[in-house]
């Protein structure tokens, strides 16, 4: 008896979900088709009923995961203010938390999959780049809400620096989390303090200008 179309879709979705988990944990090159299908609950032989190659699967995982990361930020931006009373401040708290850093299989896709994107083909890179650019636009809108004096170009510049700091801090913290959890925690804590303390992209334009003038006099 053949598999129904609905069941085939569910099977494909299960393979994608299992593959994303394993790609985040081990990297695309660190896991084979056999392990992917076993994680999804299927035999290896059914893989090619859904995907032409492992790279085609990885490209689809990148597309879905990066789109979801962008959508998650979009939802986050529309939520009521939390402890920090600004969406940007709350994003810093969430992103640089130990819980997010430890959630390798389910955290932000831009952290979890960035290292693999450069080794995949142009389609995966294009999907990732488009979602990342859209993320910058969402963040730029939040910067303009918080700092009305920023024009579009300035807000986008801030958004890129802001996100690069978040992603970079988590990448570094994860890379040493097992060997030096104390140093990983220090990276997250110090980056959070700097970003929220006014010396980084969340500072008001007036305060940043004052900081630059003080640095120039040293």
pLDDT tens, residue by residue, 111-138:
999 989 988 889 999 999 999 999 999 9
pLDDT at 212 over 60: no
Label residue 75 by pLDDT band (50, 70, 90).
confident
Q: Note the pTM of the prediction, 2 decimals.
A: 0.82
Label residue 73 by pLDDT band (50, 70, 90).
confident
- CATH fit for domain 1-51, picks 1.10.287.3510, 1.10.940.10, 1.10.10.60, 1.10.540.10: 1.10.10.60
Helices (H), the chain: 5-26, 33-40, 54-78, 87-95, 98-102, 109-112, 114-117, 122-146, 152-176, 181-196, 205-217
Which CATH number applies to 59-217?
Answer: 1.10.357.10
Q: Which sequence spans correspond to the domains of the chain?
A: 1-51, 59-217
């Amino acid at each position: 008896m053949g598999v129904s179309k609905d069941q085939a879709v569910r099977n494909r979705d299960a393979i994608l979900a299992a593959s994303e988990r394993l790609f985040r944990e081990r990297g695309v090159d660190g896991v084979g088709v056999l392990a992917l299908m076993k994680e999804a609950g299927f035999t290896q032989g059914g893989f090619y009923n859904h995907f032409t190659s492992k790279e085609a699967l990885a490209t689809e995982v990148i597309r879905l995961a990066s789109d979801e990361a962008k959508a998650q930020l979009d939802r986050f931006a529309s939520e009521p203010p939390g402890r920090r009373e600004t969406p940007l401040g709350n994003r810093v708290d969430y992103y640089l938390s130990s819980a997010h850093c430890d959630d390798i299989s389910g955290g932000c896709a831009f952290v979890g999959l960035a290292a693999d994107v450069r080794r995949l083909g142009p389609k995966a890179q294009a999907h990732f780049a488009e979602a990342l650019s859209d993320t910058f636009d969402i963040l730029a809108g939040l910067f303009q809400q918080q700092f009305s004096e920023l024009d579009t170009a300035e807000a986008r510049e801030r958004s890129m620096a802001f996100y690069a700091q978040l992603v970079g801090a988590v990448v570094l913290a994860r890379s040493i989390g097992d060997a030096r959890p104390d140093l990983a925690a220090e990276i997250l804590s110090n980056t959070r303090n700097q970003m929220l303390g006014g010396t980084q992209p969340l500072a008001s334009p007036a305060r940043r200008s004052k900081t630059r003038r003080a640095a120039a006099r040293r």
